Structure 1
Amino acid sequence: MAPPTRRRLSALSTALAVVATALVSAAPASAAPVLLSQGKPVTASTTSGPGLEARLAVDGDFGTRWSSRSGVDPAWLQVDLGVTARLSRVRLQWGNSCARAYRVETSPDAAAWTTVHSTANGPGGVENLAVGGAGRYVRLYATQRCNQSGGYTVVEFQVHGETSGDTAPPSPPANLRAANTTATSVDLSWDPATDDVGVTSYEVYQSGQFVKAVAGTSTRVTGLNPNGTHQFYVNAKDAAGNVSQASNNVEVRTPPAQADNEKPTAPTGLRATGVTANSVSLTWGAATDNIGVTRYEVHAAGAKVGDATGTSATISGRAPNTAYTFTVRAFDAVGNASDPSAPVTATTSGGGDQVGAVTQLAADTDVPWGLAFLPDGSGVYSRRDAFDLVKLSPSGARTTLGVVPNVVGTDAEGGLLGIEVSPTFATDNYVYAYHTSTGDNRVVRLKVQNNAIVAGSVQVLLTGIPRNRYHNGGRLRFGPDGKLYVGTGDGQNAQGAQDRNFLGGKVLRLNPDGSAPTDNPFYGSGGNARYVWSYGHRNVQGLAFDGQGRLWQAELGNTIMDELNLVERGGNFGWPSCEGTSGSCSGYVAPKRTWSTANASPSGIAIVNNSLYMASLRGARLYRLQLNGTSVGGETTHFQGTYGRLRTVERAPDGNLWLTTSTGDRDSVPNNSDSRILRVQLN
């Protein structure tokens, strides 16, 4: 799918203008005024209750409305158009409580406001206001009510105007560099990006997490951890909201907060407090240090098998009826390690736990990202940075199927990502893949026959999914309805997650041939919106269907919360206004479970019976969550610190789990990883 030309954008704007009612007729021929506000992110000063949220004033439905809290003046309703626009008309449809005195204002940044219409004698009902001015944000600011009681009620707040038609992103900022590094801060600077209209800001990221936006080409980043390694990059942004590709990475090593060569004391009193068939619970006395102990590692047979920040841990993945000997070491902030504790030996019981013993099926020097199963019971997985597919039998025999063409990396999270085997593979031999190209992320399908990718069989099904260094999404999952569900990232364009014509920050739904199903919620809107199943996501990493055909989804938060969601058809999940349950979350679909980003950073998910398993990267653990219909019940964690970062978990045909690790996944260099594919027994 080729990117739209300015002529095609103009034609689309004209078509939308016909649909909108009573538009200003004297518009420039190159870009007729269109309805800009519908479905865009919106906030309000107050809301009077459920079913009266701010988003209902821009949903295009004249049967819904926003209502402010009773008796509160002033009150305001603010919509983010997503791009800078020249305004031509505002249509206000009031409910039974209007504003006598109010202003319509516009702003480039939601900070400095310019009035484009004001009145002290508003008539209520429907008001069509001819306005001028330009801005990205438009606000209705009401100061006096028509009625003495109640709040302000707005059925629809419709803003019409023209956008610039600017779809070209800035060039990537160049020559990002660091200076004046301290234990907790660093100064960053870079060469300016260029743009056909003009760069308005730069966004600074640390390992994919947004830090700040600045107007100039330098900034100081604070709050860093001492004695740590930190990666930074910068994106440029123009007035139309277009986001550049990332600058070069710069890696900074902060020094210790103070000189520290003293190791902690050894933990004392290590003992086993409980055993099951597949786990041993341990506790120990705290170590001491001249500055402070920050963590502990549990070892068995010379290998690390767990970690903890406190003085206890449960070590999973053990075999039944087996004796294990453990020791514990303490670490301080600069990495000084204590001597090991005295050992303790514990013997697991017979039988089996819900999450049982682990065996290694294979090791890999690349990043195993996507994983699916063929009809013969073999797995097939994608190697993210090497761009090829590998078949893996349950016995551990490996066969390279071939390289997927036209895949590129992003020096971080891009490459060959999710894969899915056709439900009718036995007759069509299709394997579906999600991968990064030079200009986007895309969905393709290819044929696999006789243990090889058939030359020339690759078909491109969907293009135009945004790409960047991080936030590429990539998970694929066929549903029980035979449709292909696609999890995408916002491509580091957070506001785009709320734009239904922007394919990033979404769960998409496709027919197997790549066309859009006519029963998709926004099919009638045309354009990219016809592929959208849900939106308002940041970076979708996990998709799985339960036994009742419900779609569950895991996504990465920024710095506060990661999410597990039950996806609703047409649902808006709130990003970037809402992260987990933090922020302006009223009116959005709420997550079913959240975690701090330090404890999760979820990736793949799988559902077996009524249990959902979630692999986590930063949290380096496997979560097991009990599903009770549409609710999430009890939670247990497994393998914390045992195998490092966990990327993908899938239910194997025999009913057990396959789990992939994700070591060395910080760049796009092929074959510089140390990853494993594990089999986890479920009992």
Structure 2
Amino acid sequence: MVPLSRWRAGAAGLAAVALTFAVVPAATAAPVLLSQNKPVSVSSTGGSAYAGTNAVDGSTSTRWASQKNIDPAWIYVDLGAVAAVSQVKLTWDLSCAKAYRVELSTNATQWSTVYETTTGDGGVDDLAVGGNARYVRVFGTTRCRTGSAYGYSLQEFQVYGTVGADTEPPTTPGNARASDITSTSVKLSWDASTDDKGVVAYDIYNTGQLVKTVDGATLTTTITGLTPNTNYGFYVNARDGAGNVSQASNTVAVKTPPDVVDNEPPTAPGNLRSTASTANSVSLAWNASTDNIGVKGYNVYSSGEQVGSATGTSATISGLKANTTYPFTVKAFDAAGNLSAASNEISVRTKAGGDVIGEVKQVTTSTDVPWGLVNLPDGSALYTERDTHKITRVTQSGTKNTVGTVSNVSGTDGEGGLLGLEISPTFAQDHWLYVYHTSPSDNRIVRIKYENGALGQSQVLLTGIVRNRYHNGGRLRFGPDGKLYAGVGDGQSGSRAQDINSLNGKILRLNPDGSVPSDNPFPGKYVWSLGHRNIEGLAFDSQGRLWEAELGNSVMDELNLIKKGGNYGWPSCEGTSGSGCGNSAYNKPVRTWGVSSASPGGLTIVNDTLFMSCLRGERLYRMKINGSGTDTPVAYFQGTYGRLRTVEPNPVTGGLWLTTSNGDKDSTGNNSNTRIMNVALN
């Protein structure tokens, strides 16, 4: 959050902060003082004269003081009921906090950071915040007076808001549109949303990534720092003072023009050569091309088909057949998309034997997006088609047939639709398939009978998972405990990830009949872990441990080893980046990647080796599990097949099913160009 006294810093500064934590001004409704004379809990006191109740007695002549020379220290107030908190006013004594955070909670156990600073200077901090909470905490980590005779000291701790939580989101922003498009910027405008309490902010996204936040009175803003000659898909979400987020506006498609008119292609790469080969891969190198503006990268071809890409002058092409001769050429391209002439052609023969990652064979193609995939006892597989809402059976030889269409499925003009698919661990007896899908009103989990080659009876197990254009999650996985685990996105509202009463931004754990397991970490709740942004990969290892892969916003994607009841930090921590990452309550990721190198689409484990498919990164990572970590990830197929969505074991071949996800940024059926492949593991 931002101090009210500093609000005039403007939207440009606001946007930079919004990438770390949610930023909203105060709610438009007049706030009410909620904290005065309410119960208070503290980490310690410096004596009977400095009790925590002094901070909520309405007098600046009294104060709470923590025990001297102890870091951290905290104080929280119980408002008595959940309220829409909109303002926190802190009146510090000389012994103030240089570094502290303000946190909200509905249960005094799980806390969500809504303001954080490392430059506190005492005096009065008047902070605009947003969120539903019964408990509000100030958590100090560094004292202004670092001497051993001092602690933290608050004269007054005042919390303002509206009694009774605001759960109604704003209406959808209308008529989003673009103008003044340059090679590096675009002006975006939209029609105002409405809300029962008042819209306090608009969040602007590009295909699921937050790029800027403006206040609720602003309906036009300019997005800068764009890349010339690049496609973007911008949309807007409205947000109120309680943190409720609207559905997304229409998407505005923008292509920035080149910064200069460039019709001159690079020169052809020279001296293409093989530097190494194995049974299933070939390493290539070549001399750099030149260009009047600059070379952006290189594409590698075999028999006219692109099989790889690189930004430098070398590449390794994998997934080849052993003891086979392949021809290769390379072409350079620049930022304007001009493609050079081909390099010299060379022929390279792979060696006999086999690599860890063996030959890739195309099983079949699809005009839709294959999202979830399960193996059937007869050796065939079923997969969901995200945008047609069909479930299709495919044999090992590539024969396909539709087994049925799932009812009540709705797209989101983004990443919603028919998503995760899982098969009952007792399928031979009960014939249940488990499905995660978007409906017209929410995301939900259902189970459907699959008998005699067709879909039959269905049963809704769980509803009320907030849907949005992106961040719907959707991966399902049965654990060795017989429970169903579901990876759920935050629905484009980071605050939900820390709200224990929300299903979003979580891994959920269900009994097969949809009830809440009695041994879940939060009694009566489906929540198994929290603090997630958008989960698309879940897998269990031989020890029964759950691994998870999730998409970050603009900095880092994550691989996590999940602990029961664990908190993984979003939205105040993205990977290892963010002001909240120092919070000891957050579990740290096992691995992180820059979002352009990953954006996980799926995760599976074979022989305690993790395989993570990547969308934006267009590659498959292989990582051997070592204790609670992994060895160094090795990337395969970079630039070979495009976006990779789902990876699953193929028990018939001993390898992997691997699906692509090209043309997946809308909810239109049969407008994609995708493949289903088998990857050999040797």
TM-score bracket relative to the smaller structure: 0.7 to 0.9
Q: CA 1:379–1:58 in 2, change beyond 3 Å: closer, same or farther?
A: farther
User: In the alignment, which residue of structure 1 is the partner of 2:333?
Assistant: 331
Deviations 1:295-321 (A, max 9, x none): 100000110000000100000010000
* d(CA) in 2 for partners of 1:56, 1:614: 42
Deviations 1:406-425 (A, max 9, x none): 00000010000000000011
* d(CA) in 2 for partners of 1:22, 1:136: 9
Contact 2:551 2:558 (8 Å CA) reproduced: yes
User: In the alignment, which residue of structure 2 is the partner of 1:484?
Assistant: 484
Q: CA 1:82–1:304 in 2, change beyond 3 Å: closer, same or farther?
A: farther
- Is the counterpart of residue 573 in structure 1 residue 568 in structure 2? yes
* One-letter amino acid of the counterpart of residue 480, structure 1: P
User: In the alignment, which residue of structure 1 is the partner of 2:617?
Assistant: 619
* d(CA) in 2 for partners of 1:160, 1:261: 60
Equivalent runs, 1:252-401 vs 2, <5 Å: 252-401=254-403
* d(CA) in 2 for partners of 1:138, 1:404: 46
Structure 1 stretches lacking a partner, 5+ long: 1-16, 24-47, 60-70, 84-100, 111-133
* d(CA) in 1 for partners of 2:547, 2:343: 43
* d(CA) in 1 for partners of 2:337, 2:233: 19
Contact 1:109 1:137 (8 Å CA) reproduced: no
Once the two structures are TM-superposed, the CA of residue 464 in structure 1 deviates from its matched residue by 1.0
Once the two structures are TM-superposed, the CA of residue 152 in structure 1 deviates from its matched residue by 4.4
Equivalent runs, 1:457-468 vs 2, <5 Å: 457-468=457-468
Q: CA 1:75–1:357 in 2, change beyond 3 Å: closer, same or farther?
A: same
State which of 628, 632, 635 in structure 2 corresponds to 1:634: 632
Q: CA 1:144–1:232 in 2, change beyond 3 Å: closer, same or farther?
A: closer
Once the two structures are TM-superposed, the CA of residue 625 in structure 1 deviates from its matched residue by 0.8
User: In the alignment, which residue of structure 2 is the partner of 1:116?
Assistant: none
Q: CA 1:349–1:144 in 2, change beyond 3 Å: closer, same or farther?
A: closer
* d(CA) in 1 for partners of 2:674, 2:152: 58
Contact 1:108 1:136 (8 Å CA) reproduced: no
Once the two structures are TM-superposed, the CA of residue 240 in structure 1 deviates from its matched residue by 1.3
Q: CA 1:645–1:636 in 2, change beyond 3 Å: closer, same or farther?
A: same
User: In the alignment, which residue of structure 2 is the partner of 1:652?
Assistant: 650
SS in 2 for 1:598: helix
* d(CA) in 1 for partners of 2:502, 2:242: 14
Once the two structures are TM-superposed, the CA of residue 81 in structure 1 deviates from its matched residue by 3.0
SS in 2 for 1:634: coil
Once the two structures are TM-superposed, the CA of residue 165 in structure 1 deviates from its matched residue by 2.7
Once the two structures are TM-superposed, the CA of residue 168 in structure 1 deviates from its matched residue by 1.1
TM-score (norm 1): 0.81
User: In the alignment, which residue of structure 1 is the partner of 2:31?
Assistant: none
User: In the alignment, which residue of structure 1 is the partner of 2:128?
Assistant: 108
Deviations 1:568-625 (A, max 9, x none): 1111100011000001202210000000000100110110112100000000000001
Q: CA 1:653–1:53 in 2, change beyond 3 Å: closer, same or farther?
A: farther
User: In the alignment, which residue of structure 2 is the partner of 1:121?
Assistant: none
Deviations 1:424-477 (A, max 9, x none): 1111000000000111111000101111001xx111111111110000000000
- Is the counterpart of residue 585 in structure 1 residue 581 in structure 2? yes
Contact 2:77 2:135 (8 Å CA) reproduced: no
Once the two structures are TM-superposed, the CA of residue 344 in structure 1 deviates from its matched residue by 1.0
* One-letter amino acid of the counterpart of residue 577, structure 2: S
Identical aligned residues as a percent = 57
Once the two structures are TM-superposed, the CA of residue 75 in structure 1 deviates from its matched residue by 3.8
User: In the alignment, which residue of structure 2 is the partner of 1:30?
Assistant: none
Q: CA 1:104–1:475 in 2, change beyond 3 Å: closer, same or farther?
A: farther
User: In the alignment, which residue of structure 1 is the partner of 2:416?
Assistant: 414
Contact 1:204 1:234 (8 Å CA) reproduced: yes
Contact 1:489 1:539 (8 Å CA) reproduced: yes
User: In the alignment, which residue of structure 2 is the partner of 1:203?
Assistant: 203
* d(CA) in 2 for partners of 1:413, 1:658: 21
Deviations 1:396-415 (A, max 9, x none): 12121100000000001000
* One-letter amino acid of the counterpart of residue 467, structure 1: R
Deviations 1:219-264 (A, max 9, x none): 0000111011111000001111110000000011111011111110
Deviations 1:144-198 (A, max 9, x none): 87984465499xx998986443211111100001000000000000000111221
State which of 81, 85, 104 in structure 2 corresponds to 1:81: 104
SS in 2 for 1:419: strand
SS in 1 for 2:428: helix
Equivalent runs, 1:126-275 vs 2, <5 Å: 139=138, 148-149=148-149, 151-152=151-152, 163-215=163-215, 216-275=218-277
Give the stretch that moved more between structures: 440-449 or 374-383: 374-383
User: In the alignment, which residue of structure 1 is the partner of 2:16?
Assistant: none
* One-letter amino acid of the counterpart of residue 447, structure 2: R
* One-letter amino acid of the counterpart of residue 603, structure 2: I
TM-score (norm 2): 0.81
* d(CA) in 2 for partners of 1:422, 1:203: 40
User: In the alignment, which residue of structure 1 is the partner of 2:596?
Assistant: 598
SS in 1 for 2:496: helix
* One-letter amino acid of the counterpart of residue 282, structure 2: V
- Is the counterpart of residue 559 in structure 1 residue 575 in structure 2? no
Once the two structures are TM-superposed, the CA of residue 79 in structure 1 deviates from its matched residue by 2.3
Once the two structures are TM-superposed, the CA of residue 391 in structure 1 deviates from its matched residue by 1.0
Q: CA 1:266–1:198 in 2, change beyond 3 Å: closer, same or farther?
A: same
Equivalent runs, 1:436-451 vs 2, <5 Å: 436-451=438-453
User: In the alignment, which residue of structure 2 is the partner of 1:118?
Assistant: none
Contact 1:54 1:77 (8 Å CA) reproduced: no
Once the two structures are TM-superposed, the CA of residue 107 in structure 1 deviates from its matched residue by 2.5
User: In the alignment, which residue of structure 1 is the partner of 2:681?
Assistant: 682
Q: CA 1:234–1:481 in 2, change beyond 3 Å: closer, same or farther?
A: same
Contact 1:399 1:451 (8 Å CA) reproduced: no
* d(CA) in 1 for partners of 2:655, 2:639: 21
Q: Could you say what the CA RMSD is over the residues aligned between the two structures, in angstroms?
A: 3.0
Contact 2:536 2:600 (8 Å CA) reproduced: yes
* One-letter amino acid of the counterpart of residue 485, structure 1: Y
* d(CA) in 2 for partners of 1:158, 1:352: 68
Contact 2:648 2:656 (8 Å CA) reproduced: yes
* One-letter amino acid of the counterpart of residue 102, structure 2: V
Contact 2:642 2:661 (8 Å CA) reproduced: yes
State which of 421, 426, 433 in structure 2 corresponds to 1:431: 433
SS in 1 for 2:596: coil
Contact 1:82 1:240 (8 Å CA) reproduced: no
User: In the alignment, which residue of structure 2 is the partner of 1:666?
Assistant: 665
SS in 2 for 1:438: coil
Once the two structures are TM-superposed, the CA of residue 80 in structure 1 deviates from its matched residue by 3.7
User: In the alignment, which residue of structure 2 is the partner of 1:542?
Assistant: 537
Contact 1:109 1:136 (8 Å CA) reproduced: no
* d(CA) in 2 for partners of 1:661, 1:653: 20
Contact 1:105 1:140 (8 Å CA) reproduced: no
State which of 388, 405, 418 in structure 1 corresponds to 2:407: 405
SS in 1 for 2:429: helix
Contact 1:227 1:256 (8 Å CA) reproduced: yes
* d(CA) in 2 for partners of 1:548, 1:621: 27
* One-letter amino acid of the counterpart of residue 478, structure 2: F
* d(CA) in 1 for partners of 2:161, 2:227: 47
Once the two structures are TM-superposed, the CA of residue 495 in structure 1 deviates from its matched residue by 1.1
Contact 1:82 1:241 (8 Å CA) reproduced: no
